[in-house]
Amino acid sequence: MLNADEWKAQVVADGQTLCPACWSGNLTMGACAVGALTVHQEYVCEDCQYEFSALFGLVGGYPGQLAQ
């Protein structure tokens, strides 16, 4: 199993979240915890049953509109 930095590099290169244990893209998303600057997303690999979490960071924002 690759370390976190190697996993991140592979996910960025592939453009999709991959299982860090077997590299399958056949994942089920579990609980999601949203903070002010981060999002933790849990995943379960459907091929090897490995459970892991991805940590996402704030990269920007975009304007919306006033609620009516």
Where on the chain is the footprint of Zn ion (CB under 5 A)? 19, 21-22, 24, 45, 47-48, 50
Cα 64 to Cα 5, 35, 59: the distances in Å are 34, 20, 17
User: Cβ closer to Zn ion: 24 or 53?
Assistant: 24
User: Cβ closer to Zn ion: 11 or 21?
Assistant: 21
Residue 18 CB, nearest approach to Zn ion (Å): 8
Alpha carbons within 13 A on the beta-carbon side of 21: 13
User: Cβ closer to Zn ion: 26 or 38?
Assistant: 26
Distance CA 29, CA 43 (A): 5
